[in-house]
Amino acid sequence: MIHVIAIITTKPGKREEVLGHFRANMPAVHAEKGCIEYGPAIDLEGAGKIQTPFGPDTFVVIEKWESPEALKAHAAAPHMAEYAAKVKDLLASRVIHILTPAG
């Protein structure tokens, strides 16, 4: 299994619009072979000093995939290209971390 943490920062005030497109694409991703988990997360309000917030224009995609091959197929899927085309002008940055359990 591999883990993916994608940090998506939108242009100011565009996070909810991008999340709308993201949520609309989620069923297609969940149906992909090898997808274990795929969903967005935002800062928890009121977490206190322990938290380093991402801010109001950022969300994090938390993913788990059965294999690197499943992730590669995901990245090449037509619905991902369609999603990318819809949001490309709304994003400020995208950082993707691909991890393996430290076991």
Check pLDDT > 90 for residue 70. yes
Q: Is residue 57 a part of any domain in this protein?
A: no
What's the whole-model pTM score? Answer: 0.94
Amino acid at 27: P
* pLDDT averaged over every residue in the chain: 97
Q: How far apart are CA 27 and CA 11, in angstroms?
A: 25
Domains of the chain: total: 1
Check pLDDT > 90 for residue 81. yes
Q: How far apart are CA 61 and CA 74, in angstroms?
A: 14
- What pLDDT score does 103 carry? 85
Q: Is residue 51 a part of any domain in this protein?
A: no
Q: Is residue 101 a part of any domain in this protein?
A: yes
Q: Is 89 left (phi over 0), alpha (psi -120 to 50) or beta?
A: alpha
Per-residue pLDDT tens over the stretch 37-47:
999 999 999 99
Pair 10, 89: CB distance under 8 Å: no
Boundaries of domain holding 27: 23-41+69-103
Q: Is residue 1 a part of any domain in this protein?
A: no
Q: Would you place residue 1 in the very low, low, confident or very high pLDDT band (cuts 50, 70, 90)?
A: very high
